Amino acid sequence: MIQYNKIIFTGPVGAGKTTAITSISDVPPIKTDELATDMTKNRKGSTTVALDYGVMILPGGEKIHLYGTPGQERFDFMWDILTTGGIGLVLLLDNTRADPFQDLRFFLNKFSGFIKDTSLVVGVTQMDIRATPVLSDYHKQFVGTGLNPPIFEVDARRKKDVSLLVQALLYSIDPGLEDQ
Q: What is the pLDDT of residues 112-168, one digit of tens each?
A: 999 999 999 999 999 999 999 999 999 999 999 999 999 999 999 999 999 999 999
Position with higher pLDDT, 124 vs 43: 124
Taking alpha carbons only, the member of 71, 73, 68 closest to residue 83 is 68
Which range has highest mean pLDDT (4-8, 40-44, 78-82, 152-156)?
A: 152-156
Which range has highest mean pLDDT (2-6, 67-71, 109-113, 176-180)?
A: 109-113
User: Over the stretch 62-111, which tens digit does the pLDDT of each residue have?
Assistant: 899 999 998 777 788 888 888 999 999 999 999 999 999 999 999 999 99
pLDDT at 2 over 50: no
Rounded to two decimals, what is the model's pTM?
0.88
Position with higher pLDDT, 82 vs 41: 82
**CA of residue 80 relative to chain centroid, distance:** 15
Domain 4-175 has CATH 3.40.50.1950: no
Q: How far apart are CA 47 and CA 137, in angstroms?
A: 28
Strands (E), 4-77: 4-10, 30-35, 46-57, 63-68
Percent of the chain with pLDDT over 70: 84
| The pairing of beta strand 120-125 with beta strand 151-153 | parallel
